[in-house]
Each structure stands twice: as structure tokens, then as C-alpha cells.
Amino acid sequence: TGRRLAVPSTRDEIAALGATLNGLLARLQEALERERGFVADAGHELRTPLAILRTELELAARPGRSWEELVEAVSHAGNETDRLIRLAEDLLLLARADNAQTFLRPGPLALPDLLATAARGARTRAAERGVSVVVHSPSPLSVAADPDRLRQAVDNLLDNATRHAPAGSVVEITATSSPTGTVTVEVADRGPGFPEEFLPHAFERFHRAETARTRDGGGTGLGLSILQAIAQAHGGQATARNRSGGGAAVTLELPTDAAPDHPQHRSCT
Ligand SMILES: Nc1ncnc2c1ncn2[C@@H]1O[C@H](COP(=O)(O)OP(=O)(O)OP(=O)(O)O)[C@@H](O)[C@H]1O
Ligand SMILES: [Mg+2]
């Protein structure tokens, strides 16, 4: 707890100013603590793959390795390196997303085509487990957004959905446009859904619902925060809920005239 101004008990401008400044100090402190937590989490996430990488390299360098052992160690080291690269890319993206002006390269894009391509990409992996991916999208549906970022947001959702979807189930991508000038993309699955207590934290960086941080069981917990950063940079928002009948549904909502850095959407925390 930081130091605060002693606010006089008078009800004048000085008291009001004191209270305002204290509020500002409290918010600054919160922001600082959040950043500190983020750096600590990032450090933690970097440490594990780096430690594994080091072990694998040590194994590979030991005298008397057979060719097979060598190949295996190097291939494991390669996997961990890939993980580190992904992590670095995710962290860079989150850092850059704060500035929508330079982060986004918006242009008109055909949303149904983008969703169809994303679905095709996800099917390869989903099909191994008998999970199908279907797209419901009204055909003329265009939105001014950054196509690459939008694709990345949808890919993150599809990755989550197909990972949690039970064998033989259907993952649904649904695009809708509302007369109020928003376009909504929802990815829904029939998996276990989100634990209720996790929902308020779903978009926090590094937050995961599964407690076990297994090596290959899941990701780093950045996918949904990246989705939210992309949504907010467009002046939109992301929401997560559980479906009636079971399963998770995550929605990305974008204004049809998505203007980057729209003043009313910038939060000042
Ligand atoms: N479709 C879903 N069904 C159930 N739980 C989900 C679903 N999507 C996400 N979650 C939960 O939310 C957590 C955060 O998701 P997020 O995409 O941010 O991270 P991740 O998938 O663990 O890692 P990353 O996306 O960085 O590879 C997940 O760890 C998982 O516990
Ligand atoms: Mg994910």
C-alpha cells in the first residue's frame, strides 16, 4: 500500500482535489502492480522451455550418444525453441496492441472467406479426433478490420475450441451482423465449458482454467488476452460464456466501421 494525501475533512475544493489525487495514485499503483505481475509471469513462462532446452542440449552433448538419441534430443530442443518463439511473438503482439494506430493495418475484407479459410485450417487437426468445424455466415458480410489480426483472433478461438471439443462433436463458427453497426463472430464448442469462477478472469494474461500446467497439455494462457487486445484495438470487444446444453462460446464483436484508436473505446487505466 502506497502513501496517500491526508484529505482534510472540509468539503471544499482542496478536499475534492485531495480525493481525486488519491484515486489517481491508487490507479497508478494498480497499473504498476499489474505490469509487475505480467513481467513475473512472462519470466516464469520463459524459464520452463529454456530449462528443457538446456537439458536436451546437455543430453545431446554427452559422450557416447547413439544417432537415434541425438536425433531425439535435437528434435525436442527444436520443439521447445518453437514454443519460445511463439511466446516471444505473443508477448510482442500484446505490447504493440496498445497502440492501435501502428498495430492495425485495416482494410475491407470478406468475412465469410476469412472464416472459411480459418475453418479449413482448423479441420486438419480437428478431424484426427472426429471433430468437425462448420461455418454459419450470411454471405455478403464485410467489415473494415485488419485481416491478419482478425484471422489470428479467430485461429486462437478455433485452437481453444477444437482442443476442448469432445470426439465426434461439432465446433460452430457463427457470424452475424446487427443493424446497430456491429459484426459478431462466435466460436462455440461442446466441451466442458469454462469453470464459472474462471469466467471473470478469462481474458487476463496467462490465466488458465486447468490447474495442471503440463508440458504439452495446453498453451500459455495468452490466446484469449490476444483476442481481447485485437478486439479492443478495433474498438470492439470480446466476451466468453458457457452455452446452455454445455460447452464454451467466445464472441468477438467489431464495429462495422471499425476505426482504429476510436477515442471512446480507449480505456485510461
Ligand atoms: N473452448 C474452451 N473450453 C473450455 N475452456 C477453455 C476454452 N477456451 C479456453 N479455455 C480455458 O481458458 C484458458 C485460457 O485460454 P487461452 O486461449 O487464453 O490460453 P491457452 O489456450 O491455455 O494458451 P494459448 O492460447 O496461449 O496457447 C485455457 O487455458 C482454458 O483453461
Ligand atoms: Mg488458447
Q: Which of 71, 96, 121 is the last residue of a domain?
A: 96
The pLDDT of residue 269 is 38
Give the cell for residue 183. 459484426
Q: Is the pLDDT of residue 3 over 90?
A: no
Tell whether 2 is covered by a domain: no
Helix axes 67-96, 223-233, angle to 10 degrees: 30
**Three-state DSSP class for residue 185:** strand
- Give the pLDDT band of residue 262 (cuts 50, 70, 90): very low
- Who's near 89: CB < 8 A, 6+ residues apart? none
**pLDDT tens, residue by residue, 237-251:** 999 999 999 999 999
Quick one: 118 and 41 in the same domain? no
The pLDDT of residue 216 is 47
Give the cell for residue 56. 536436451
Give the cell for residue 36. 509487475
Q: Is the pLDDT of residue 39 over 70?
A: yes
Q: Which domain holds residue 23?
A: 13-96
With CA atoms as reference, report the closest residue to 145 among 256, 264, 261, 263. 256
Q: Is the pLDDT of residue 264 over 70?
A: no
The pLDDT of residue 267 is 42
**When comparing pLDDT for 82 and 265, which is higher?**
82
The pLDDT of residue 256 is 85
> How far is residue 46 CA from its own chain's centroid?
17
Q: Is the pLDDT of residue 213 over 50?
A: no
> Considering its fold, how many domains does the chain have in total?
2
Phi, psi of 47 (to 5 degrees): -65, -45
Measure the CA–CA gap between 96 and 149, rounded to whole angstroms.
12
Measure the CA–CA gap between 51 and 195, rounded to whole angstroms.
31
Question: Is 194's C-beta closer than 6 angstroms to any atom of ligand 1?
Answer: yes
**pLDDT tens, residue by residue, 70-124:** 999 999 999 999 999 999 999 999 989 988 888 999 887 889 999 999 999 999 9
Pocket test for ligand 1, best of 44, 87, 133, 160 (most atoms within 8 A of CB): 160
* Closest protein CA for atom 9 of ligand 1: 160
Task: Please give the distance, rounded to the nearest whole angstrom, from the Cα atom of residue 224 to the centre of ligand 1.
Answer: 7
* Closest protein CA for atom 13 of ligand 1: 208
Nearest bound ligand to CA 224? Answer: 1
Question: Is 53's C-beta closer than 6 angstroms to any atom of ligand 1?
Answer: no
Q: Which of 48, 71, 96 is the last residue of a domain?
A: 96
Query: Range with the lowest mean pLDDT among 58-62, 122-126, 156-160, 251-255?
Result: 58-62
Q: Specify whether the CB–CB gap between 94 and 203 falls below 8 A.
A: no
Give the CA distances from residue 245 to residues 34, 159, 174, 185, in Å, rounded to whole numbers and listed in that order.
36, 21, 17, 20
**Three-state DSSP class for residue 172:** strand
| DSSP one-letter code for 256 | T
The pLDDT of residue 217 is 56
Tell whether 5 is covered by a domain: no
Tell whether 169 is covered by a domain: yes
- Give the pLDDT band of residue 209 (cuts 50, 70, 90): confident
- Who's near 117: CB < 8 A, 6+ residues apart? 151
Quick one: 143 and 20 in the same domain? no
Quick one: 73 and 172 in the same domain? no
The four Cα atoms 191, 197, 202, 207 give a dihedral, to 10 degrees, of -100
- Expressed in angstroms, the distance from the first to the final Cα of the chain is 18
Measure the CA–CA gap between 104 and 65, rounded to whole angstroms.
49
With CA atoms as reference, report the closest residue to 225 among 35, 84, 94, 41. 94
Atom of ligand 1 nearest to the CA of 250: 1
